[in-house]
Amino acid sequence: MINVQFAALPERWDTYAVPLRTAFDQAGIDVDLRIDHVPETVDYVIYAPNGPLSDFTPYTRCKAVLSLWAGVEKIVGNASLTMPLCRMVDPGLTAGMVEWVTGHVLRYHLDIDHSILNQDRWEPWAQPLAMERPVSILGLGALGAACARALSQLGFPVTGWSRSPKVIDGVICRHGEEGLQQALTDAEIVVLLLPDTQATENTLNAQSLARLAKGARVINPGRGPLIDDDALLDALNSGHIAHATLDVFRIEPLPLDHPYWAHPNVTVTPHIAAETHAITSAQVVAENIRRGESAEPYLHLVDRTLGY
């Protein structure tokens, strides 16, 4: 019997218990899943950073911590977490992110806001084709790569940027500092899907925003600290950036007095771009436990030196 501790907010237990047990049965592994195992008897921890568990020291038998979140910035520096840590790459979350990003790129490309806000006038305008609208995706992990492929298939010329070299069919892939400048230069829509690390903080700042095409749009469903907020507000006020759609922020919920709320060229969404889905994420957790019991490499193992 494999002892698995579920360590997330209590209300998440009702959401995950049945999908997890179903996934364990389908994977052919015999699991005792509980929220109240004695720590020293636990083999695996299913974990959410906003849950009750912060000290992993008593979990002396634990083979791996399996996070339900895609981001690990809130846990990767925990000194008591000495066992392997796996982040969540959930097919359902990925599909949701592709839908959200694609929807907002198309919203900008088709200038849907203009039509909605001008229902009292007849003002035709020339609509460019997708092939004439360069899009850059900053971050080519599982989410960024999936979004880049989807936009490329719609006909957009897509440039992607990542820390290390990547190859994605139909996407121009850049890497390194010079590659970042190339990815930003003259892009009309930029999408941020980088992890939150010291190296990625303020990736969009005054200098990088200036490289975008005049009238460019910014979409951030990644992490709040990727953007220098003051620099973005300055670029919006000057007109260099036409609009920004922001789903994530340095402080959440976004404070009511934050300038983004009242800015006419900012759309705020409440961290809804994508979320982990119980049915599909349970299958990822079950597969990782099966791998752990079979001495196979874990899926989505976090590199503590990189922070993701």
pLDDT tens, per residue, the chain with 308 residues: 999 999 999 999 999 999 999 999 999 999 999 999 999 999 999 999 999 999 999 999 999 999 999 999 999 999 999 999 999 999 999 999 999 999 999 999 999 999 999 999 999 989 999 999 999 999 999 999 999 999 999 999 999 999 999 999 999 999 999 999 999 999 999 999 999 999 999 999 999 999 999 999 999 999 999 999 999 999 999 999 999 999 999 999 999 999 999 999 999 999 999 989 999 999 999 999 999 999 999 999 999 888 89
Same fold, 2-90+276-293 and 91-268: yes
What residues form DSSP beta bridges with 125?
A: none
- With a CB cutoff of 8 Å and minimum separation 6, the contacts of 141 are 162, 193, 195, 308
CATH of domain 2-90+276-293: 3.40.50.720
Contact between residue 32 and residue 271 where contact means Cβ atoms under 8 Å apart: no
Return the CATH fold of 91-268.
Rossmann fold (3.40.50)
Q: What is the pTM of this model?
A: 0.91
Amino acid (one-letter) located at 243: H
- With a CB cutoff of 8 Å and minimum separation 6, the contacts of 305 are none
H runs (alpha helix) in the chain: 10-27, 91-109, 112-117, 142-153, 176-184, 206-211, 229-238, 259-262, 278-293
259 burial type by CB count under 10 A (0-12 exposed, 13-18 middle, 19+ buried): middle
Domain limits of the chain?
A: 2-90+276-293, 91-268
* Catalytic positions: 223, 271
195: its two tokens = 């992890």
pLDDT tens-digit series, residues 236-247:
999 999 999 999
Angle between helices 278-293 and 10-27 (to 10 degrees): 60
